[in-house]
Chain A
Amino acid sequence: MHLKYESFVREPLVDGDKDYHQVTEDIIGPIEKKPGRMWYVGFIFSLCLLAFGVFSVTWEVYWGIGVWGINRTIGWGWDITNFVWWIGIGHAGTLISAILLLFRQGWRTGVNRAAEAMTIFAVMCAGQFPIFHMGRVWDGFFVLPYPNSRGPLWPNFNSALLWDVFAISTYFTVSLLFWYSGLIPDFATIRDRAKTKFRKMAYGFASFGWTGSSKNWQRHEMLALVLAGLSTPLVLSVHTIVSFDFATSVIPGWHTTIFPPYFVAGAVFSGFAMVQTLLILTRKILHLEEYITLGHLEAMNKVIVLTGSIVGVAYLTELFMSWYSANQYEAGAFKWRIMGPYWWSYWAMMTCNVVSPQLFWFKKLRRNVVFSFIMSIVVNIGMWFERFVIIVTSLYRDYIPGSWAYYSPTWPEVGFYLGTFGLFFTCYFLFAKYFPVIAVAEIKFVLKTSGDNYKRKMDGIEQKSVEEFAQEQAEHH
């Protein structure tokens, strides 16, 4: 039944000698202690970044979009680049928790909680950019279809930009629900072992009064499974729809059918890189190396090399099509991308996204923590350049040479971007302090099959012949 045997070929998911109580202790323990120095330094630094971001945005709202470097030729600059970048990063969490749940990938249990949290924070950051890019942000609610005094005048439901509003708000809501439904039992664990009055009250409130009865768990499993089933196409749809923002227009370089799969692969690529960045730091700071093992990091690096290669194929396909389409504007767009004044962004993208992840074909490098950390940052730099290349270098040399232009960001644009880093890390630091960063209940669920010490006990089973083993299993049930 529950004590199923797992082969030695599969690496343990939890290292060290653990029992259920030790798992609780290891993961909940840091929440009950005062945070270390590093936490305070990081948290205050993030708050400062956030404050600078708020200042930059306030400046922009007060003076108008004109304070940004964008112009009539290049109407989308850093803001939309950053929007697509953040929303892409926000894809890994739900991919890990939903798609890997459906594929029964046990290693997701160690990383899904933090990855989902990252997703939610990344989507929060992403949402800021299109909102403030509207210019008159106080009229932002016009995108919502509500009965208004202007007719009622409805938004255009045939527009990819409105699809985006629905896609991102749905994605945020569903990810939040998925994440929180998993957190409820873990909050109950914190509540039941709490010593202080405040903690009992706060986590009692947050745990919704969860007790962990078998009926509740049965429904919880069902909920997780169906939400995973719903989220799987949802994850794929969100970046597909983001790519429609470009692909449904008639700009050379944007108007291609390859965009949806290409964007989704890129999103998974950058999302996993960001998960890698955060988890390598988290496991180090909170001493969770036994739960987020080298095996976990390696699995994520494998996803990175796979999706990086898909992205590489997409880049080459784009180039091929620009020639094969025999469309001079398409060819022109790619010529100016590669060899125009923005050549450096194209080649930065190519190097970071296509060339460098190929190093992960080496097992030694996949299991090297420092290398993985550096690579995760390189990948995200590359993916930022990808969005910059798609947006700016498709726009800057359009049909009429007289309107060709160049674009560089001004400080409020850069400040806005830094501010979203502040928002992201402020949220993540609070999460790491007050929330269980690893799904306690899910680790306990896999502990007896995939825990190191339990696997070692299965030595005897490994020696048995197949017939003997099969017969024993049959009797057991």
Chain B
Amino acid sequence: MAIKKFAVACYDDEAVLFPAVKKVRHSGYKLHEVYSPFAVHGLDHAVGHKESDLHIAGFIFGLCGTSTAVGFISWILTGDWPINFGGKPHFALPAWIPITFELTVLFAAVGMVMTFCYLNQIMPGVKKHVFHPRQSDDYFVMAIELNDHVKDEEIVKFLKETGAKESFVQIAEDSWWYGRFDKTEPYQQLA
């Protein structure tokens, strides 16, 4: 958790946003994040994120589900309490496929969603700074982390030139905290 100074630029068109992101990164500014109302394809690469490995988590959780099901059922029906169903084998693997499959899917899905929430640091009760209320409506909002050497007017002007509809400097918390969205935070009164 840290309160930092950010330059914020708002764009209303993806076609303007992409060159602007490129320009900001080439100019050596520290691009914090770009916020968008929907998933803009290619934006993650333009910002410089590498591919997400979330699917690996899904795979591992899925394997856990498979082994839980097979291990648990085979232990019960061959070890803990074997029952004779008309002389059929105790280790009746084909009959366990449905439950094994369901538990694989269940573990993979639940585990992946939990990993997703953990990685994104989202949870009921978590609050994060919203740079512009329209970033979930029709604005693509770029936040640049500023150090003391950059002058406010300079960066605002630079961002305007990249095609931003609005650009300004804002004090913001860069991480998450427990809070409610109907409350104003103390740092917001600083700006």
Interface residues of A (CB under 8 A from B): 1-3, 19-21, 24, 145, 151-154, 156-158, 160, 162-163, 166-167, 169-170, 173-174, 177-178, 181, 184-185, 188-189, 191-194, 197-198, 200-201, 203-206, 208-223, 225-227, 230-231, 233-234, 237, 241, 244, 440-442, 444-445, 448
- The answer to whether B15 and A174 touch across the interface, beta carbons within 8 angstroms, is no
Known interface pairs A158-B85, A174-B105, A215-B33. Does A204 touch B39 (Cβ–Cβ under 8 Å)? no
Q: In whole Å, how far is B137's beta carbon from the nearest beta carbon of chain A?
A: 5
Given contacts A181-B116, A216-B122, 13 further A-B contacts (CB under 8 A): A162-B99, A166-B98, A193-B137, A200-B181, A205-B181, A208-B123, A209-B122, A210-B120, A212-B35, A226-B55, A233-B101, A237-B98, A241-B98
Interface centre among B38, B49, B77, B182 (most CB of A within 10 A): B38
Main SS at interface, chain A = helix
Q: Is the CB of B99 within 8 A of A174?
A: no
Cβ proximity bits B29-68 to A, threshold 8 Å, 1 near / 0 not: 0000111111111111001010110110010001000000
Q: Which residues of A contact B62 (CB under 8 A)?
A: 230
Is there contact, CB below 8 Å, between B99 and A208?
no
Q: List residues of chain A with CB within 8 A of the CB of B134.
A: 21, 192
With A21-B138, A221-B39 as given contacts, are A208 and B124 in contact (CB-CB < 8 Å)? Answer: yes
- Tell me if B49 and A230 are in contact (CB < 8 A): no
Give chain A residues whose Cβ lies under 8 Å from the Cβ of B1.
none
27 contacts between A and B (CB under 8 A): A20-B138, A24-B37, A145-B76, A154-B80, A158-B77, A160-B98, A173-B109, A181-B113, A191-B181, A192-B135, A193-B133, A197-B182, A198-B182, A204-B182, A212-B38, A212-B136, A215-B120, A216-B120, A218-B44, A219-B119, A222-B52, A222-B55, A223-B113, A227-B112, A237-B102, A444-B38, A445-B38
Within 8 A of A (CB), among B53-99: 54-55, 58, 62, 72-73, 76-77, 80-81, 83, 85, 92, 95-96, 98-99
Chain A residues with CB under 8 Å of B44's CB are 214-215, 217-218
Residues of A within 8 A of B43 (CB): 214, 217
Are B96 and A157 in touch, CB under 8 angstroms? yes
Taking a contact as CB atoms closer than 8 A, the residue among A153, A177, A189, A226 that contacts B37 in the complex is: A189
A197 partner residues in chain B, CB cutoff 8 A: 182
Please determine whether A166 and B103 come into contact, CB atoms closer than 8 angstroms.
yes
Query: CB-nearest residue of chain B relative to A189?
Result: B136
Is B25 on the interface with A (CB-CB < 8 A)? no
Known contacts A153-B81, A157-B76, A157-B77: does B108 contact A223 (CB below 8 Å)?
Answer: no
Q: How far is the CB of A450 from chain B (nearest CB, A)?
A: 14
- Is B185 an interface position by the 8 A CB rule? no
Bound complex: CA of A231 vs CA of B104, how far in Å?
11
A191 to B105, CA, bound (A): 32
Taking a contact as CB atoms under 8 Å apart, the answer to whether A157 and B37 are in contact is: no
A243 CB to closest chain B CB (Å) equals 11
Which residues from A are CB-within-8-Å of B126? 208-209
A476 to chain B, nearest CB (A): 11
In the assembled complex, the Cα of A145 lies from the Cα of B81 at a distance in Å of: 13
Interface assignment of B168: CB less than 8 Å from any CB of chain A: no
Is B176 interfacial (CB 8 A cutoff)? yes
Q: Provide the bound-state CA to CA distance between A167 and B116, in Å.
A: 24
Known: A158-B85, A174-B105, A197-B182. A218 touches B52 (CB 8 A): yes
B66 to chain A, nearest CB (A): 13
Instruction: Return chain A residues, CB-CB under 8 Å to B105.
Output: 170, 174, 230-231, 233-234
Please, how many angstroms separate the alpha-carbon atoms of A145 and B99 in the complex? Answer: 12
Chain A's closest residue to B90 (CB) is A158
On chain A, the residues within 8 Å of B72 by CB distance are 145
Chain A residues near B55: list those with CB within 8 A.
222, 225-226
